[in-house]
Amino acid sequence: MKPRKTLSSWLNNRYLLIIRNEENFAEKTTISFTYSKLILISFFILLVLMLVSLYLSQTLMAQWFDPRHEQLLMSRHLIELRLELDSLENEVRKKDQFVKNLQKILRGEPTDLEETADQHNAADNQSSDPNVSLAEVDSQFRKEFEQSEISFLTVSNSYLQELEESFFFTPVTGIINNPFDISKNHFGVDIVSKDNEPVKAIADGTVIFSGWTQDSGNVIVIQHRGNIISVYKHNSALLKKVGNFVYSGDVISIIGNTGELTTGPHLHFELWYNGNPVDPEDFITF
């Protein structure tokens, strides 16, 4: 009587696969196997095929057959562009605030930071001593500002050697009828020239302000390399917008007579370095 075969014996029975030459029946190779090994190997092969299929369905096959793949890529791209736009908006907002503060400095008005500080100081003084008036706070601020005007001259002199190494294009050719004088709060030079004379950029840079102000009319401000800023006031027309990149010698505006602080057609030109006004005649031939 034959012994009854069980599942375990069926899986673990060894078999021999012999490969022979068809012509002379010479033995070429021999492979020993069991059903358990075949099942295990088949399982791993199937698992690998499933993983490869899953990977392809999420990558290569998705690009070929799934219409949602392109939509997903476009959504990601839009999100990236939105983040970049938000960062650019923040930079533009900072530049706008910087330009507004610069305009207030040129007009002799307190900047936003100074106004905030004055309000806090005034509130503190009033809470501690009700007899202190806003006029005393204002006089103290004006005293500090007048003292800082003297420091402008000292600081600007230390920059002369570095600025002299830079080449600046002449913004407009003409006669200077009002020179640079910080003691009179005149932070630039007034250049009288021909009517409708084009105004040119003194160097490569980016336009950070281009618009109308009550005192200076049409104003355009350019940020150059090395913390240099050039200001062009009282123009009759502006030819560049905020964000435009200009090269040295590019026409940016037309000379004019706009704004309240003007007595005739001319260009009021200012040159600032590291937040301090410098005399343009020291570096540019008009």
pLDDT tens digits along 177-193 = 999 998 888 999 999 99
211 falls within a domain: yes
DSSP 62: H
Is 44 among the domain residues? yes
The predicted-structure confidence for 133-170, as pLDDT tens digits, reads as follows 555 555 565 555 444 444 444 444 555 566 666 789 99
Per-residue pLDDT tens over the stretch 10-30: 778 888 888 888 888 788 888
Total number of domains constituting the chain: 2
147 shares its domain with 281:
yes
pLDDT above 80: residue 4: no
CA distance 34 to 263: 107
| pLDDT in the model for residue 114 | 56
pLDDT in tens, 199-215: 999 999 999 999 999 98
Say if 148 falls within a structural domain.
yes
DSSP secondary structure string for all residues of the chain: -PPPP-HHHHHH--EEEEEE-TTT--EEEEEEE-HHHHHHHHHHHHHHHHHHHHHHHHTHHHHHH-HHHHHHHHHHHHHHHHHHHHHHHHHHHHHHHHHHHHHHHHHT---HHHHHHHHHHHHHHHHH-TT--HHHHHHHHHHHHHHHHHHHHHHHHHHHHHHHTS----S--SEEEE--BGGGTB-EEEEE--TTPEEE-SSSEEEEEEEEETTTEEEEEEEETTTEEEEEEEEEEE---TT-EE-TT-EEEEEB--SSS-SSSBEEEEEEETTEEE-GGGT---
Domain co-membership, 138 together with 19 = no
Whole-number pLDDT of residue 132:
44
Q: What pLDDT score was predicted for residue 234?
A: 95
Position 75 in a domain: no
Q: Does residue 51 surpass a pLDDT of 70? A: yes
Domain shared by 54 and 139, yes or no: no
Give me the DSSP letters along 162-199.
Answer: HHHTS----S--SEEEE--BGGGTB-EEEEE--TTPEE
Predicted local confidence at residue 48, as pLDDT = 94
Structural domain range at position 147: 132-286
pLDDT of 63 reads 61
Name the residue with higher pLDDT: 31 or 112: 31
Is 54 in the same domain as 137? no
Tell me if 188 is assigned to some domain: yes
Q: What's the mean pLDDT in 223-235?
A: 92
Does residue 157 sit in the same domain as residue 283?
Answer: yes
Whether 30 is in a domain gets the answer yes
In a domain, 95, yes or no: no
Q: Are residues 39 and 164 in the same domain?
A: no
152 and 45 in one domain? Answer: no
Q: Report the distance separating Cα 138 and Cα 142, nearest Å.
A: 6
What is the average pLDDT across 92-116?
71
Q: What was the pLDDT predicted at 128?
A: 47
> Quick one: 147 and 231 in the same domain?
yes
Q: What is the structure's pLDDT at 116?
A: 55
Q: Is residue 20 part of a domain?
A: yes
Write the CATH number for 166.
Answer: 2.70.70.10
Say whether pTM exceeds 0.85: no
